[in-house]
Structure 1
Amino acid sequence: MVQAEKKLFVLDTNVLLHEPLAIYSFDEHDVVVPMTVLEELDQIKDRKKDVARDARVAIRALEDAVGSASPEQLLAGVPLVGVEAEQRAGTLAIFPDHQVSFPDMVALPGNHNDNDIINSALYLQQTHKDKAVVLVTKDINMRIKAKGAGLRHVEDYRSDQLVDDIRYLATGFTRLDGDFWQRVGDVRSYQQGRYTEHTLPRSALGEEPLYLNQYLVDDGKEFCAQVREINDETLVLRDLGRERLMHYHAWGISPKNIYQGMALQALMDPDIDLVILTGPAGSGKTLLALAAALEQVVEQRRYDRVLVTRNTPEIAESIGFLPGTEEEKMMPWLAAVTDTLEVLHKHDESPSSSLQYIMDKANIQFKSVNFMRGRSIQNSFVLLDECQNLTPSQVKTILTRMGEGTKLVCSGNLAQIDSNYLTAVTSGLTYLVERFKMFEGSSNVYLNGVVRSRLASFAEENL
């Protein structure tokens, strides 16, 4: 590749916090880290928040890349050697933005870190006319400011993005046109435990993308199956049947539509370790998960306890100033779960007494995501709520805590992201759906349809 085709990427601080090893994600192109970014990382690394770890990892990655380079080499750019060293010809440079004056260009006013980083990119754009200078930041407002200031190339960081459009995210089920059995000629059926399984040619479903534990439904009223095995020639389906799915029940709750039936089947299946529930508000994600948890802990005694956790966005550090124990501090963020418990027992003679009895009987514990690192969770039914606000690295931290005999349910609505730097396509929930769709121990269901109330349904469709 000729030098004129190379790009020069200027990284914002939030890129390194989002992906600490981001400097290795730009292949043969050159990477520049302004001095202001190093100062921001230095201020963040000592905070008592999860982001401090990412800052420290990013700083160590920069140190490893710089090595023993001289100041002159650091300004010019030191070669970036990654895992695939033979494919990398890019460099890493530290730009001393505080030492540069801008006499011949329009610069944004100083004393603001974002402006200093944008000014660095503008200066490099003016002095490196043989390269496309690209500012990479996850801050939407900063991208708009940079374009307004005259920077020609501004991008979001997308190296960890698995889908380009949320509309292409796997839903966990596929609707087939017409009658399924009319399109199948060669099929071999046999009994597998209490289920009937069918082996048929892969070509019977044409070019439909298929994943393990994916559900298949047709336009009829009877057929519903689950993909159990896939190879180039054949396909194994487990025949579930719509009527059987609609008669599933857990803790007095039965499905209201076929999507809830699929979700409840996955939640009650002991062979599935990870269930991912996505969908709009009011589609029944938390209700189904909690009902399945109580059924399997209290009635079936398959698990020892119910562990409910979620992150505390924006004000994670403020949890320490709330009164009480960790569980009492978490209650404001887990009101959705306690509301659901009340719904499940609203017809009891004494709902408040029933609620406390079940909390003790099921050993329901409320924990913060902030304190999950280092734990090993055994024989538990874990409900991770509001997953859309987690980054891919946070999701990985939580999943690696799950021990033997534990079932994890991740639920979230990608239309309700609170994080400043996450979008629907970069959310940890999206990452989870795409990475685990071929894992035999996981199942993903998009709960299509709002069943909370007609008011909630109308609001979801029209607001």
Structure 2
Amino acid sequence: MKKLFILDTNVLLHDPQSLFRFQEHEVVLPLLVIEELDEQKRRMDEVGRNARRVAKALDQLRQSGKLHEGIPTPGGGFLRVELAIDLPKIPEIKSHKADNSILALAKMYADKYPEREVTLVTKDIYLRIKADALGIKTEDYKTDRVNVEEMYSGTTTLKVAGDQIDRFYQEGQLVDFTGGELVANQFVTLLCEETGQSALGRFDHSKKAIVPLRYGNKDAFGIRARNKEQRFAMELLFDPNIKLVTLVGQAGTGKTLLAVAAGLEQVVETEDYKKLLVTRPIVPLGNDIGFLPGEKDEKLRPWMSPIYDNIEYILSGVKEGKKEKDSKPTSIETTLRYFKERGQLELEAITYIRGRSIPHQFVIVDEAQNLTPHEVKTILTRVGEGTKIVLTGDPFQVDHPYLDSNSNGLTFVAEKFKDQPIAGHVVFTKGERSELAELAATII
């Protein structure tokens, strides 16, 4: 028998296509959900756009029938808008919140169709808790979820014989290896337990061989890798054939610092890209910054402080003469302004990325774990010819109210692109900010 799914508003705002993700089963939209979507439609951020997309989809469906009677969906399912207003009261709940009306509707359906599996689908954890307490079957929206505990790490270790490591260095590749199937751009630590020899390499999908790192020891504006994961990251950040890089790790592991340094190096020094564009979610739902005082740069400064901190740290090396050129100003603030005036550096709110075409740029999206899979897709589809995009973040530090470590855009993209030759992924494990920072991240 076909299952019946009742969708909460936040599911539709998270993924407008969720209307059609339940295959042959029946989907019910409470009228209250339609009203809540209507309240969001004028917003100019991703939430408002998703509300309008749902409205257009429903409007198109109603051309073939009456929504309150139910309409077949392309996947063989059935969609209906429930008009019931006089819902049964739940004695355990006294308030008149919208969530409680949705609970009442779910309970009404469960009582009305005991032979069917009725499920309330919501991304609201507290609503799921209340539903469970009332004996109502409930679950999170699972379509775009990734099990972060089993997430692709981008690296592996292979045990080999000592002569294989010698041949790896002599021939510049290793073809006859065992230990499991590797994916494109997966990093490998070759280890000989007998001799203690080791070597770092990357799986070249086109050659079907493990090859040595080419850019692992690269100097980027005076910044160099301090551990093997950072060397792996440098390899991806400087390889022109890699168009998408995902760097995952807790605070202090150096993912953002390396990305910014690599971007500056390839924009300012080698001029491989025309501009370094750095962006990050302003607030969890991507709201506008118009309420802040001042010009755009002044509005952005509080939200972009971590990026400024990294840039200032990098440029402090320039000022101290590590990479100083007489033709460039040495004051950090002046240098920042100099790069911006030349069009080499842009710090932008992620709200304004949509609708742009971004060619020949080095793009960094920081704190990408606070983006939905749909928002990350929107950003990736803005990428023009010759552009490299880097997503950084920590999936265990999600601030978005309806996302978690398994459902955010960063982990979703890393998992979906793990076998693509133009993409690479690294999970950072070692903190490099300071001894105290690493210790705090570990024991607290």
TM-score above 0.5, yes or no: yes
d(CA) in 1 for partners of 2:100, 2:188? 52
Q: Write the letter of the residue equivalent to 2:83.
A: P
- Structure 2 counterparts to residues 77-116 of structure 1, below 5 A: 77-82=70-75, 88=76, 90-98=77-85, 100-102=86-88, 106=91, 108-109=93-94, 111-116=96-101
Structure 2 CA distance for partners of 1:184 and 1:361, relative to 1, 3 Å: closer
The correspondence of residues 40-439 of structure 1 with structure 2, limited to 5 A, is 40-70=36-66, 74-75=68-69, 77-82=70-75, 88=76, 90-98=77-85, 100-102=86-88, 106=91, 108-109=93-94, 111-151=96-136, 153-161=137-145, 163=146, 165-176=147-158, 178-179=159-160, 196-200=172-176, 204-206=177-179, 208-219=180-191, 220-229=196-205, 235-240=208-213, 245=216, 247-314=217-284, 316-317=286-287, 319-346=289-316, 348=319, 353-361=331-339, 363-439=344-420
Superposed CA offset, 1:208-244 (max 9, x none): 34211111003355411111116xxx82222228xx8
State the secondary structure of the residue aligned to 1:414. Answer: coil
CA deviations over 1:8-37 (Å, ceiling 9, x no partner): 111100111111121211122211111100
Checking the alignment, whether the CA contact within 8 Å between 1:373 and 1:401 is kept in structure 2 is yes
Distance 1:170 1:359, change over 3 A: farther
Alignment check: 8 A CA contact 1:65 1:92 kept: no
Matches of 2:390 and 2:66, distance apart in 1: 51
TM-aligned CA distance change 1:78 to 1:298, over 3 Å? closer
Task: Structure 1: state its 5+ residue gaps.
Answer: 83-87
Q: RCO (CA 8 Å, sep 6+): is it higher in 1 or 2?
A: 2
Q: CA RMSD in A?
A: 2.5
C-alpha distance in 2 between matches for 1:108 and 1:180: 67
Match of 2:433 in 1: 452
Measure, in 2, the Cα distance between the counterparts of 1:62 and 1:315. 24
Paired AA for residue 314 in structure 2? L
User: Do the aligned residues in 1 keep the contact of 2:87 with 2:101 (CA within 8 Å)?
Assistant: no
Task: Check conservation: 1:387, 1:410, Cα contact below 8 A.
Answer: yes
Q: Is the 8 A contact 2:225 2:231 kept in 1?
A: yes
Contact 2:13 2:47 in 1 (8 A): yes
Alpha-carbon distance between aligned partners in 2 of 1:95 and 1:355, rounded to the nearest angstrom: 58
Aligned length: 429
Cα distance change, pair 12–340 in 1 and its aligned pair in 2 (3 A): same
Instruction: Quote how far apart the aligned CAs of 1:359 are.
Output: 4.7
CA distance in 2, matches of 1:122, 1:160: 27
Q: So what's the TM-score if we normalise by structure 1?
A: 0.86
| TM-score (ref. length: structure 2) | 0.90
Q: Which moved more, 1:339-348 or 1:420-429?
A: 339-348
In structure 2, the residue matched to 1:85 is none
Structure 2 unaligned residues grouped into runs of 5+:
322-328
- Percentage identity across paired residues of the two chains: 38
Letter in structure 1 aligned against 2:412: Y
In 1, Cα distance between the equivalents of 2:34 and 2:41? 11
